[in-house]
Amino acid sequence: MVEDQDQKRREALAKVYADGGADRVVAHIQGTPDPAERRALYMQARRVLPDRSAPVRRFDDVIRIARAGIAETLRQAELARAREDADDAKECIDHANKLSYNLTADLAACWPGDEAPRERRHFEAGLRAAYDCVVWRQELGKPPDRRAMAHWAAGIHQLSLGNEVEALCAFEAAFGLALEAAALGDAGHDGKPEAYVKPNGDFGVILYFGYAGIARQILGDEAGTRQYEQACAAFEETLKSPKDPEAEEDARFGLDQLRWVGMRFAGRSLSGTAS
């Protein structure tokens, strides 16, 4: 089974990491003859590093391994292009996109309870990875909700770097793409974006609307506080009467994340406490 194979990969990588750190992991993977297996190993490598619950995260190791994996996968894409195998080249680019998104997400300072210290270089690396995803997801023809995720990632790193205007632009781009995705399944939409920010509404729309509100509030726009509160209220009301278990899980995750980021970046809770 695939999961059994992935577990074996993780066990082997964990031992290599314990013995020699990130450089040994990269050397081990690069020494693997099969290109597809190298891609699979890089995808599993992040699973052997300390996760978001760990007080010490070793972000430089996260970056070292992820960037090596991205470089290797892009090299494989070039080789595929050279032999005119467009499908394999596209698959390799998508693999680089996934590695890059994992990297930007792991470096983001937005996960509830994650207080591991980060340096400016970590946010800069996360921002670079996010913008790589923006480009690749456009190139690969990803649907708007997937492209939105990349813009959101850019926004959270811009926020961490103190670039609030750029963060707002990125969150607005994410919100617009999420709206586009939601509208595809809602022919009866009345044309007002805020109409989607409602209980049991689209998760991405509500989340990115709230993030944009945080950026606006930090910039001194009072409308940002109202925007943030509307997003939190939509998640709160969903928790009271979720349409299904997945909606409840998403609402709790989204609300906790917005509350955490609101406290972390605005210096105080914009409205109430996390549920």
Give the pLDDT confidence score for residue 15 in this predicted structure: 95
Do 123 and 179 sit in the same domain of this protein?
no
Report pLDDT digits (tens) over 124-150: 999 999 999 999 999 999 999 999 999
Do 239 and 121 sit in the same domain of this protein?
no
Instruction: Please give the mean pLDDT across all residues of the chain.
Output: 92
Is residue 253 one of the residues assigned to a domain? Answer: yes
Give the pLDDT confidence score for residue 186 in this predicted structure: 58
Give the pLDDT confidence score for residue 192 in this predicted structure: 64
Give the pLDDT confidence score for residue 211 in this predicted structure: 98
Share of the chain above pLDDT 70, in %: 92
- The average pLDDT across 96-115 equals 96
Give the pLDDT confidence score for residue 269 in this predicted structure: 43
Is residue 154 one of the residues assigned to a domain? Answer: no
Give the pLDDT confidence score for residue 193 in this predicted structure: 65
Do 101 and 180 sit in the same domain of this protein?
no
Report pLDDT digits (tens) over 173-215: 999 999 999 887 654 455 566 668 999 999 999 999 999 999 9
How far apart are the C-alpha atoms of 12 and 16, rounded to whole Å? Answer: 6
Do 11 and 83 sit in the same domain of this protein?
yes
Do 203 and 244 sit in the same domain of this protein?
yes
The domain boundary residue, chosen from 142, 166, 191: 142
Is residue 148 one of the residues assigned to a domain? Answer: no
Do 112 and 187 sit in the same domain of this protein?
no
Give the pLDDT confidence score for residue 188 in this predicted structure: 43
Q: Is residue 265 very low, low, confident or very high in pLDDT (cuts 50, 70, 90)?
A: confident
Residue 36 confidence (pLDDT) above 50? yes
Give the pLDDT confidence score for residue 185 in this predicted structure: 62
Is residue 24 one of the residues assigned to a domain? Answer: yes
Do 113 and 16 sit in the same domain of this protein?
yes
Do 184 and 134 sit in the same domain of this protein?
no
Do 24 and 85 sit in the same domain of this protein?
yes
Is residue 221 one of the residues assigned to a domain? Answer: yes
How far apart are the C-alpha atoms of 235 and 113, rounded to whole Å? Answer: 19
In terms of residue numbers, what domain contains 187?
Answer: 175-275
Is residue 30 one of the residues assigned to a domain? Answer: yes
* Residue closest to 259 by CA, chosen among 126, 113, 137, 80: 113
- The average pLDDT across 89-115 equals 96
Residue 1 confidence (pLDDT) above 70? no
Count up the domains in the chain and report the number: 2
Is residue 153 one of the residues assigned to a domain? Answer: no
Do 119 and 209 sit in the same domain of this protein?
no
Is the overall model pTM greater than 0.85, yes or no? yes
Report pLDDT digits (tens) over 218-256: 999 999 999 999 999 999 999 999 999 999 999 999 999
Is residue 157 one of the residues assigned to a domain? Answer: no
